[in-house]
Amino acid sequence: MKKILVINGPNLNMLGKRKEEHYGRLTLDMICDSMTTLASDLDMSLTFVQYNGEGEIIDCIHSGMDYDGLIINAGAYTHYSYAISDALEILSIPKIEVHLSNIHARESFRSQSVIARSCTGQISGFKESSYILALYALRDLLKD
Ligand code: DQA
C-alpha cells in the first residue's frame, strides 16, 4: 500500500463558502471523502492536513520523507512562497501540485506558480476532480 500525504494550504478549509465559479460547491471534507473512497481501490492510504500558516506547511512537507507521494494545493502561497518551493525541492518522492481553479485563466498574479519547479506536475482547473486526477497520476508514477 502506497502512503500519500495530501496538504491543503490557506483558505481551503473555507471551501463550500468560497466563489463557486472558481472552487465549486464541495467542502474540503467532502473532497477528502471522495479521495479516500478512490484511494482504497488504488491501494493507497491517504493522510490529510490543512494549514493556513506557511511555517506549518513547511514543517509538514519536511515530514513527507515518510511517504511515497505528495499532493499539494498551496493556495495563494503557490504564487510567491519560495520557502515552500525550497521545502518541496528537498523531497525526492513524486509531488503533484493541484488547483481547483484554472490558475492560468484568472488574474495575472495567479498564473505564476513558484512551486511548479519543485513538483513533478501540475493539475489545475478541474475543481474537485483535480484532486482525483492527482491520485491517478500518482498511481501511474508509483507503479512498480
Ligand atoms: C487555488 C488557487 C489560488 O490562486 C488561490 O489563492 C487559492 C486556491 C485553487 O485551488 O484554485 O486559494 O490554489
Task: Give Cβ neighbours of residue 141 (< 8 Å, ≥ 6 apart).
Answer: 69, 94, 120
**Domains in the chain, number:** 1
CATH, residue 35: 3.40.50.9100
pTM over 0.85: yes
**For position 129, what pLDDT does the model report?**
98
Instruction: Sort residue 32 into left (φ over 0), alpha (ψ -120 to 50) or beta.
Output: alpha
Task: For residue 96, list its beta bridge partners.
Answer: 71, 121
Question: Measured between alpha carbons, how far is residue 76 from residues 13, 46, 47, 102, 135 in Å?
Answer: 13, 23, 22, 13, 22
Ligand 1, residue 10: give the atom nearest the CA.
Answer: 12
Domain that holds residue 65: 2-141
pLDDT tens per residue, range 31-50: 999 999 999 999 999 999 99
Active site residue 80: no
Q: Which protein residue's CA is at the shortest distance from atom 2 of ligand 1?
A: 75
Catalytic residue among 79, 99, 131, 136: 99
Task: Using the predicted structure, report yes or no on whether residue 92 has a pLDDT greater than 90.
Answer: yes
Look over the chain and give the mean of its residue pLDDT values, rounded to a whole number.
Answer: 97
| Residue list, ligand 1 pocket, CB within 6 Å | 11, 73, 75-76, 78, 99-101, 103, 110
Q: Which protein residue's CA is at the shortest distance from atom 1 of ligand 1?
A: 75
Active site residue 62: no
79 confidence band (pLDDT: 50, 70, 90): very high
Helix (H, G, I), strand (E, B) or coil at 56: helix
Task: Using the predicted structure, report yes or no on whether residue 60 has a pLDDT greater than 90.
Answer: yes
133 confidence band (pLDDT: 50, 70, 90): very high
Q: Rounded distance, CA 26 to CA 51, Å?
A: 18
Residue whose CB lies within 8 A of the most ligand 1 atoms, among 103, 127, 130, for a mutation test: 103
**For position 144, what pLDDT does the model report?**
76
Using alpha carbons only, give the angle 54, 55, 56 rounded to the nearest 5 degrees.
95
Ligand 1, residue 23: give the atom nearest the CA.
Answer: 11
- Interval 11-18 mean pLDDT: 96
Classify burial at 84, counting beta carbons within 10 Å of its beta carbon; exposed 0-12, middle 13-18, buried 19 or more.
Answer: buried
Q: Rounded distance, CA 130 to CA 45, Å?
A: 18
Residue whose CB lies within 8 A of the most ligand 1 atoms, among 96, 99, 104, 108, for a mutation test: 99
Cell numbers 486526477 correspond to what residue? 133
Question: Measured between alpha carbons, how far is residue 111 from residues 38, 39, 48, 58 in Å?
Answer: 30, 30, 26, 22
